[in-house]
Structure 1
């Protein structure tokens, strides 16, 4: 049997990634909803549909600065509906209309007023519309008179006016459950009279790096020492995913210390992410500790998944509250890929977001690449939009150089288990990474 055949045979014993993700996500539920005010709700996911309790605008109002009038009084001004630049010169033979200005209305005006024939009100944008008015003449279509005004041109009926409920009617669906609350959405809710909404809270994620060999950042690695890049990177990744993330730092391979640390963190975590110790080597303490169930302490299942890079992933619960825990490999590139594949959808599900996976596109591959048979490979890539539509994708460094590739990537090229070579010019799937650059 050839080395390639041996590798494929070994890969066939691994759990398919789709099957593994399905088994994990089915065990989770979105966090219980909270009633938050609008400012706090921003960035969270709605837990229920939101309906407008009041119309917007709430009353008939002027949409522009100008003069509120009755359209019937303006019918003789200029050529109705034409643009001022195309108007003929006026000869004072009925080509303008003169109206008496009986008052001024600002956005803070509140007393109801009524127009009578031959009169108008000077109004500011947002001011309540006088009863009987059905048009607002722009200031630059007049002589800007104060006691009386000459109307040089008549707008169309209804121009410059916003009617009550014109934009949002009572009972209208403003947003559906599962939608992120954006700044414009906050404005829409507020304008409709909504001060609080039901949202799923942002998951609180604790990140822990494990291993006796780890040292903190700020110095280079020495033999027997590895700088802890993972806890910093995964904390940033969790924030990017919408979580409230807390970096605990480094935990030594001490079984009791490890178990105690994780149980302590369950008091403030909705999800714990660990990195390192997921394999079966002599130094992989985390797998040995967490895979053993304890009384009321939960249990983590470690699974060899058909994934490249990093085949060994862990998922389960810890502590009496059975807080979910995701265990990622210790190699930085594999840890970040594992985060995208497993931790990202877990965070989205807890937050109540839909969909839970990143957006993907089909793209035209610019360079031939090889892939390990039997594994679903996620390779760093740069995606670009093609002129005329569609996307192109340029593979970046993968394999042992995945971390270097990820630092430049805005996407992940996805090569299926049956793909050993993807030719330049072929169409491939690409997972888009929103780096908010």
Structure 2
């Protein structure tokens, strides 16, 4: 299997005091490559990202057809029809969508047709039934129709050779329909990344119980598993791993065989109990991984880890803080773009807008802060941005937020009424 991660970039060196977030993300994402492409059956490809452009091999529709139910006729035969003097046509047959024998119109005749039926030769209009007396052997047409009305010509929707979808786009239900209509049964896509999520810490206990002194409920593995699935990946929650070096090494080694990406939370600091950093960093001669932990100009995260693990197959790993709100922000800033690159998706980052701030906010000097917010469209255009509680209360704010307010490293105060950047979050229901 070809590795999806390139060599370490010197720009990621932990020796730098504080690495600008943009530089850090660029250095990480440049190391990654999309997963190898697969040829999948059309129905199995839903939700995956296209690895190449898809062209229409045939025109759609493949033949001239009725777009509505009614009567296929010649426009010249009904050009003078009015309610007081309707045009009378002889109905010479019925055509359904399943009809296949060629048919032809002559002067003063028409066919009763269903939507999707092949158009008779010489027919250039389909008259809606409500414009007629809906006769069976003959029909009276009470108003004229312009040439081409009620007709869908060959290739009108998609001509042969047209680009149906571009590489990097996601296969949606509507796109599945378009591809099927154009005679496509297989597409080449990137597989959805398999992402393993591990929470570390002796203090962690499973969700569903109230923590006691010395215990913390494992929030991260549950929240990040959901975030990973929302990002379009296959998420596997491993759960809690104690701060036991051998157990953590064994767990990570075991997961490299099933994962395209591993995400850990906790243990990324410099304290004596921060086992993730100790066993994954090459600085202590460890063979478990080749991970660099970098102090990034990012609030509320600070330290982020990225590199590879695995002796046979190198699997990328993202190491996030243990505080739940910071872990979710770190996922949005780092882990989600990594997933998007592995899946071949474009664009890699969330969409962003600029909006008017509803209240003044203070931001730490020298850090790019991501703060939960609610964005709403303004009457007359534009957006308003309402900041939500940040800092240690970020987790509660994230649950309510539909966006992240972004304040740059040089911003220490953003007054109410100023224009700010916000990332729009998915909130699928």
TM tier, smaller: over 0.9
Deviates more, 1:411-420 or 1:268-277: 411-420
Deviation at 1:140, TM superposition (A): 1.2
Moved over 2 A (4+): 292-298
Q: Does 1:202 align with 2:223?
A: no
Give the match for residue 347 of structure 1: 339
CA contact (8 A) 2:206 2:217 kept: yes
In the TM superposition, what whole-angstrom CA distance separates every residue of 1:82-141 from its partner, at most 9, and x where no partner exists?
xxxxx5xx1xxxx22222111111111111111121211111111111111111111111
In the TM superposition, what whole-angstrom CA distance separates every residue of 1:395-424 from its partner, at most 9, and x where no partner exists?
111011111111111111111111111111
CA contact (8 A) 2:280 2:288 kept: no
Q: Does 1:370 align with 2:362?
A: yes
Q: Superposition pairs for residues 36-435 of structure 1, below 5 Å?
A: 36-78=40-82, 87=83, 90=84, 95-292=85-282, 297-319=288-310, 320-435=312-427
Take 2:370 and 2:95, find their aligned partners in 1: how far apart are those partners? 63
Take 2:160 and 2:43, find their aligned partners in 1: how far apart are those partners? 23
Take 1:64 and 1:42, find their aligned partners in 2: how far apart are those partners? 30
Matched length: 412
Take 1:374 and 1:348, find their aligned partners in 2: how far apart are those partners? 28
Take 2:49 and 2:245, find their aligned partners in 1: how far apart are those partners? 38
Take 1:16 and 1:71, find their aligned partners in 2: how far apart are those partners? 69
Take 1:232 and 1:13, find their aligned partners in 2: how far apart are those partners? 33
Deviation at 1:48, TM superposition (A): 0.4
Deviation at 1:332, TM superposition (A): 0.4
SS in 2 for 1:335: helix
Sort the Cα spacing of 1:295 and 1:330 in 2 relative to 1 into closer, same or farther, 3 A: closer
Take 1:52 and 1:147, find their aligned partners in 2: how far apart are those partners? 41
CA contact (8 A) 1:33 1:47 kept: yes
SS in 2 for 1:126: coil
TM-score (norm 1): 0.92
CA contact (8 A) 2:279 2:286 kept: no
Take 2:125 and 2:412, find their aligned partners in 1: how far apart are those partners? 69
CA contact (8 A) 2:249 2:288 kept: no
Give the structure with higher Rg (CA): 1
CA contact (8 A) 1:30 1:351 kept: yes
Take 1:399 and 1:172, find their aligned partners in 2: how far apart are those partners? 50
CA contact (8 A) 1:210 1:275 kept: yes
CA contact (8 A) 1:210 1:253 kept: yes
Deviation at 1:306, TM superposition (A): 1.1
Deviation at 1:156, TM superposition (A): 0.9
* Unaligned stretches of 5+ residues in structure 1: 1-11, 79-86
Deviation at 1:361, TM superposition (A): 1.0
Take 2:150 and 2:239, find their aligned partners in 1: how far apart are those partners? 60
In the TM superposition, what whole-angstrom CA distance separates every residue of 1:366-392 from its partner, at most 9, and x where no partner exists?
111111111111111111111111111
In the TM superposition, what whole-angstrom CA distance separates every residue of 1:13-42 from its partner, at most 9, and x where no partner exists?
211111111111111001111111121111
TM-score (norm 2): 0.94
CA contact (8 A) 1:297 1:322 kept: no
Alpha-carbon RMSD across the aligned residues, in angstroms, is 1.4
Take 1:393 and 1:341, find their aligned partners in 2: how far apart are those partners? 19
In the TM superposition, what whole-angstrom CA distance separates every residue of 1:43-86 from its partner, at most 9, and x where no partner exists?
111110110000111111111111111222222312xxxxxxxx
Take 1:432 and 1:65, find their aligned partners in 2: how far apart are those partners? 44
Q: Does 1:32 align with 2:22?
A: no
